[in-house]
Homo-oligomer: A and B are copies of this chain.
Amino acid sequence: MAQSHGDRLSAVDASFLAQERANSHMHVGAVLIFEGPAPAYDDFLNHIRSRLHLVPRYRHKLAFPPLETGRPIWVDDRNFNLEYHVRHTALPQPGSEEQLRALAARIHSQRLDRAKPLWETWLVQGLERGRFALISKSHHALVDGISGVDLMTVLFDATPIPQVAPHEGEPWTAAREPGPLQLAARGVKGLARLPFELAGGALSAATHPAESLDVVKEALEGIGEVAWAGLNPAPETPLNVPIGPHRRLSFVRNDLNDLKLVKNTLGGTVNDVVLTVVAGGLRRWLRARGVRTEGLELRALVPVSVRAKDQHHELGNRIVVMRGPLPVYVEDPVARLRVVRQAMDGLKESKQAVGAEVITGLEALAPPTILAQASRLQFSTRLFNLLVTNVPGPQFPLYVLGRELEDLFPVAFLPENQSLAVAIMSYNGRMDFGLLGDYDALPDLEELGDALKDSLEELVVAAGGRKPKRRRARKLEPA
């Protein structure tokens, strides 16, 4: 889908804006760790500049039609200033990953300015062992769920030698901003054309969650991809409390082979194993907090990408949303996996999606894309305890300006009353977890990360594997 000056926001994208609250931000992103040395700021700016034409939305800002006449419109930002969007910073000594996480958490704690294109990328110097990092942050509404292309995607090369991008160096000139009358005209046109105004429905659902389950159901069926078994509220847990604007991040590194060993030995899909690991980690963490887990099954919202033919029989990315069962009541890891598999098989036989083992290439490396889709269901936050996303990525090394990407930790978002989101992405033999937590509700997010790690270990041992090595970078961190 081309991104053009004058595009009207889709109803879903408009709902991302409408649903954003002071404490519940609607941006997503990733923390990317690279081998050093860090590129010079100017070189990095030039690299982005050379590829920005591939993602026109990154030079668009929102134009708001006069009140009540319709959804915002994307227009060229005539004052676009790349230095504003691409920030340069450094970690204090010793440049630990803990310090990197604190920085990334701070960056993700701040809402994007709606008067400008809705993204930021931070070039971070001074990460220990000679490495550097990129921290990316884009608003949901910016990310085009259909084309699946975002800035990070176009910055990467599959070879150490940067490629010349198509149409590189063509000059960019901003189109004229529409005046209030033009905006009003566009807005009214939009209203007349749209039969079901999802944005409005979402808003009302957020304010009256209890009364609007039927509306939600209708909206979901309007999207047409999910069959919900039992739309009753999710159980109450310490995860589901009011959240503040501030965030914490935790990283968990895993080898993809460990998850595959479990899958091949004990059965199920990689996605089943992921849910089992998350359920086991939450079980440990809840019990350490003194929460009873007997009979407790949490519910994850799991967005999944599949390739499918659309109405016009073109092959494209389609995102579906699954209800992921998290049987924290089961102590034995093998039994827990079995419960997850049975539940997922049952869901698949209904209209739900096949899962996350679709083979994807470089062009699908867009964690924000899939995360953005997840918030289509933002308004049903009370039906879920947390978001768990699991995105398959390329299994070969990627490069930015010749530096190899070593680790990729996706960062999701927190809907109201959800203090934890788990974002997972496989890349080049790894399967790293990015945990996003509310700063005040989850002071023990690191312990939760450790519990997830222990939970995978348990499964690997049960599958006859060796205890996974705790990766070096993690060991080097200060406690």
CB neighbors of B among A77-99 (8 A): 79, 84, 87-93, 99
A50-78 vs B: 1/0 string, CB under 8 Å? Answer: 00000000000000000000000000000
Does A363 reach chain B (CB closer than 8 Å)? no
Which residues of B sit under 8 angstroms from A90, Cβ to Cβ?
Answer: 89-93, 125-126
Cβ B92 vs Cβ A125 within 8 A: yes
A93 CA to B93 CA, complexed, in Å: 13
CB neighbors of B among A95-139 (8 A): 99, 102-103, 106, 110, 113, 115, 123, 125-126
Residue of B nearest to A245 (CB): B113
Q: A41-B92, A91-B90, A113-B244 are in contact. Are A84 and B125 (CB under 8 A)?
A: no
Q: A115-B244, A244-B113, A439-B84 are in contact. Are A103 and B89 (CB under 8 A)?
A: yes
Which residues of B sit under 8 angstroms from A102, Cβ to Cβ?
Answer: 88
Which residues of B sit under 8 angstroms from A440, Cβ to Cβ?
Answer: 79
Chain A interface residue bracket vs B: 20 to 34
A440 CA to B110 CA, complexed, in Å: 19
Does A246 reach chain B (CB closer than 8 Å)? yes
Cβ A99 vs Cβ B92 within 8 A: no
A90 CA to B92 CA, complexed, in Å: 5
Which residues of B sit under 8 angstroms from A106, Cβ to Cβ?
Answer: 87
A122 CA to B89 CA, complexed, in Å: 14
Which residues of B sit under 8 angstroms from A79, Cβ to Cβ?
Answer: 440
Cβ A110 vs Cβ B110 within 8 A: yes
Of A84, A110, A113, most buried by chain B (CB within 10 Å of CB) is A113
Q: A79-B440, A113-B244, A246-B113 are in contact. Are A99 and B91 (CB under 8 A)?
A: no
Identify A92's interface contact among B88, B93, B115, B439, CB under 8 A: B88
Q: How far is the CB of A390 from chain B (nearest CB, A)?
A: 31
A254-285 vs B: 1/0 string, CB under 8 Å? Answer: 00000000000000000000000000000000
Which residues of B sit under 8 angstroms from A115, Cβ to Cβ?
Answer: 244-245
A84 CA to B89 CA, complexed, in Å: 19
Q: How far is the CB of A423 from chain B (nearest CB, A)?
A: 24
Residue of B nearest to A103 (CB): B89
Cβ B88 vs Cβ A89 within 8 A: no
Q: How far is the CB of A374 from chain B (nearest CB, A)?
A: 26
A437 CA to B392 CA, complexed, in Å: 45
Cβ B103 vs Cβ A99 within 8 A: no
Q: How far is the CB of A59 from chain B (nearest CB, A)?
A: 16
Cβ B245 vs Cβ A93 within 8 A: no
Q: How far is the CB of A44 from chain B (nearest CB, A)?
A: 11
A468 CA to B32 CA, complexed, in Å: 48
Residues of A within 8 A of B (CB): 41, 79, 84, 87-93, 99, 102-103, 106, 110, 113, 115, 123, 125-126, 244-246, 439-440
Query: What are 9 pairs between A and B in contact, CB < 8 Å?
Result: A84-B439, A87-B106, A88-B92, A90-B90, A90-B92, A90-B93, A92-B125, A93-B125, A113-B246
Beyond known contacts A88-B102, A89-B103, A90-B92: 14 more, CB 8 A cutoff: A79-B440, A84-B246, A84-B439, A89-B89, A89-B90, A89-B91, A90-B91, A90-B93, A92-B123, A93-B125, A110-B110, A113-B244, A115-B244, A115-B245
9 A-B pairs with least C-beta separation: A90-B90, A90-B92, A92-B125, A88-B92, A115-B244, A90-B91, A110-B110, A89-B92, A113-B245
